[in-house]
Amino acid sequence: MRRAERWSPGFLYAASLVLAAVATYAVLPIVAWDKDLWYHLNGGRWIWEHRALPTEAFFSFLSPPRRWLDYSWLFEVVVYAVYRACGYAGLLLMRAGLLAGTLGAIWALLCGRAARRPSLGRCVLFSLYLLLLLPRFALVRPHLFSYFLLAIALLILERRRRWIPLLPLLAALWGNLHGIYYPILLLTAGAYALEHFLRRAAGTRRQRELAFTAAAMAAVLLTPLGAGLLDIPFTPLDYARFHVGELAPFRPASLFALHADAWSPSPETGFNLLFFAAIGTALTGVARRRLRPAHAALAIGGGLLLTKGVRFSYECALLALPLLARSRLHLGARLRQAMPDSLRTAIVAGLAAMPFCALWTATRPRPRYPLSMRQLPQGIAAFLVREGPGGSVLSDPDMGGYLEWALGPSYKIAADMRTPHLFSDADAHLVQRAFLDSKALDEMLNRYHPDFIAAPLARPEFKSLIARWPRYVPVFFDDEAVLYVDSVRHRPLTRRWTLPVDPFDLPRHSEGAAAALPGRGLPPYLARMIGVAPRTFSTQVYAAQFCWTRKDFRGELDWARRVAREYPEEAEGWLLEGHALRHLGNLPAALGALRKSLRRAGPAKAPVVKREMAAVYAAQGRVEAARALLREADPSFPPDSRPE
C-alpha cells in the first residue's frame, strides 16, 4: 500500500480519535449514575460461589420468592471475574476494550476498503457515532457487549463474508451475555437471510451464507434459559417508564432539536443527524433503485425499536450503519465548491475538534479513580456490615443494587431496579411508595417487619410517616439515606448508637450546615461515624464546618483537603479549603482553591464561592475585583459598598 494511503489525514484523525476515547475511558472512574453494576456483580458472585444460575431473587425478603430468569448471567460472571482479579480498574479496562472494538467495527463498516483513505463525510459520520455512544459507555452494563457484538455482526454480514462461520458462535455468546436483546439479533440475521432468499430467486447462490445466518438465528436458544427467554423482551413496561428515565417514550418532536454540549453536538443531536442522514440515504436508494432489502429491513426495524423507549436510539443508529455505509457523501468536494480554502479549512478543523472537546468535557472534573462513592449508600452499608447483626433492610429500589452487593448474604433487601423482569410492577410500586405514603409503609411493615429501614434523604416527608412507628429509631446516616433500626428487636444496637440530631433537618452541602450542629454531643458521634464510614462525603464536610464555626482553621483545612482528595469533582471541599487558607493568611493558595471550587459549582453554590473569593480579593486590597464578584453573586449589592 502506498504511504499516502497508509497515512491519509482521515485515517490518522480516526485513529487518534479512537486512541483518545479508549485512553479516556480506561481511566475515567465509575460513577453511580445508576446502581445496576452492583446487582450484576452480586449475581456474578452468587453464580461463582454456587456454580449454578439463580432461579429466584436470593437477595430479597419479599415472599413468596420472586422467580428469576437471569438473561445476563454470563455478563455477571464476566464482570465478577474481572472485578475479583483486578478490581474496579479491571472493569475500566474491560469497558475501554469494548469501546475500542465497537468503534473499530463501526469504522471498518463505514469505510470498507477505503478505511485507510476515508472521505470527509465518513469521518463526520464516525464522529457522530462516537459522540452518540460515549455516554452509554460510561456505564458498565450488559449493553456494552450488545453494542460490540451488534457492530461485529453487521461488519461480518456486510463486509467480511468469509467470517460468517463465526456468526452462530457470536449469536450464542450474545444470547448469554444479554439475552433480552435476542430480537435485535433475529432482526439483524433475518434481514440478511431475507436478502439471501431474494437473491437466490434471482439466480444468485448463497446457500452457505444462508445456512450460517439461519444457524445464528437458532443459536439464540443456546442458553440455560432455553425457550424461557423468548417472552422476556415482550414484558409490558408501562410502570417502569415512570421511574426509569431511559425507558421514557421517544418523542418524535425531539428529532428536530439541536443542542451543543461544550463546543460539540450533544449525543441527542448526534442521533438526530444520523437519523436524517439515514432517511436521506434510503430515499436516494429508492429513487435510484439501489436500496438493498437487508438495509431497508434493518432501518425499519430500528425505527420500530424507538417505540420501546429512548434507550433504543443507540440500537436504531447502529442498525442504520449498513445503510449509511453505502451512502455517497461528497462533503469535501461540496465544501471546496461552495467556499474559499481558508473558510473550508476552518470548518473542517472545527468539525474535527468537536469529538475531542466532548472527550475533554467527559473528564472534567474527574472523580477519584477508579470509583467515585458519590450517590452510593456506602456509609449505611459499612455500618450494617460492621455493627449490624444481619437481617432485612427496607430500602428504595434505586439503592438496592449497591446494598445487595455490599451487604452480602447476611442481609436481604426488598427489591432493586430489575422491574418488571424480576420484580413486578406491584412490587416496585409498593416499595417505592413506602417512603411516600403512610398506607404503603404500614403495609410493608405489617407484612414483613424489616429489621432496618434505609430511608432516602431525598424523601424528608418520611420522617413524619415513620413517626407513627416509634419502635424504629434512627441510628446512622450517610450522603444518601438515614438508617432506622427496630429498637425492640435490636435494643443493644440502639444503646450503642443514637443520633443526637435529625439528619433530615441538617442543611446539606451548604456553608450554613455547621450552624445547625449542636455545640455538644455531635463531635464525638461524628468521629464515630467517620470511623465506621471514613469515605462519607457529608460527615467529612460537617466535620470541616464544625471546625469552621469554632475557628479551628487548621482543623478545617485538614478536613477540607480530605474531602477534596476523596471527592475532587465536588465544589465543597475546595470551598472549605479556600476559606481555611484565607483565615490562615495564605491568600494566593486560597484563591487557587476557590477557583477550582467555582469550576465545579452549580448555580446554587456559585454565589457562595464568589462571595468567598471576594473576601480574598478584599484582603489582598483588590477592592474593585471584590465588588465585581459580589455583584455577580448578588445583583442587589450596592456598587459603592466596601466589601468585607
Cα separations in angstroms, 330 against 123, 292, 417: 12, 21, 47
Q: Which CATH number fits domain 508-644: 3.30.470.160, 3.40.630.10, 1.25.40.10, 3.30.1330.90?
A: 1.25.40.10
Helix, strand, coil % over all residues of the chain, rounded to 5: 65, 5, 30
- 32 CB-near residues (< 8 Å, 6+ apart): 372, 373, 374, 375, 376, 402
Q: How far apart are CA 309 and CA 137, in angstroms?
A: 18
| Phi then psi dihedrals of residue 265, to 5 deg | -60, 145
- DSSP character at residue 364: S
- Give the model's pLDDT for residue 500: 83
Q: How far apart are CA 537 and CA 526, in angstroms?
A: 12
H-type alpha helices, 64-206: 73-111, 120-133, 143-158, 167-177, 182-201
- Give the model's pLDDT for residue 331: 56
Residue-level length of the chain: 644
- Give the model's pLDDT for residue 205: 53
Q: Nearest to residue 430, comparing CAs of 402, 410, 450?
A: 450
Domain ranges of the chain: 3-231+266-361, 373-505, 508-644
Type of residue found at 469: W
Q: 381 and 482 in contact (C-beta within 8 Å)? A: no
Adjacent-strand bridge partners of 454? 395, 483
- Give the model's pLDDT for residue 4: 45
Listed as own residue / partner, the contacts of 302-309 with beta carbons closer than 8 Å and 24 or more positions apart are: 305/184, 306/250, 307/249, 307/250, 308/237, 308/247, 309/237, 309/241, 309/246, 309/247, 309/248, 309/249, 309/250
Q: How far apart are CA 311 and CA 249, in angstroms?
A: 9
Q: How far apart are CA 49 and CA 376, in angstroms?
A: 25
Q: Mark the ranges of the chain whose per-residue pLDDT is less than 50.
A: 1-5, 508-512, 520-521
Architecture of domain 373-505: 3-Layer(aba) Sandwich (3.40)
Q: Nearest to residue 285, comparing CAs of 242, 328, 332, 231?
A: 328
- Give the model's pLDDT for residue 643: 63
Task: Assign 484 to helix, strand or coil.
Answer: strand
Q: How far apart are CA 550 and CA 534, in angstroms?
A: 22
Q: How far apart are CA 36 and CA 381, in angstroms?
A: 16
- Give the model's pLDDT for residue 362: 81
Q: Nearest to residue 434, comparing CAs of 402, 404, 456?
A: 456
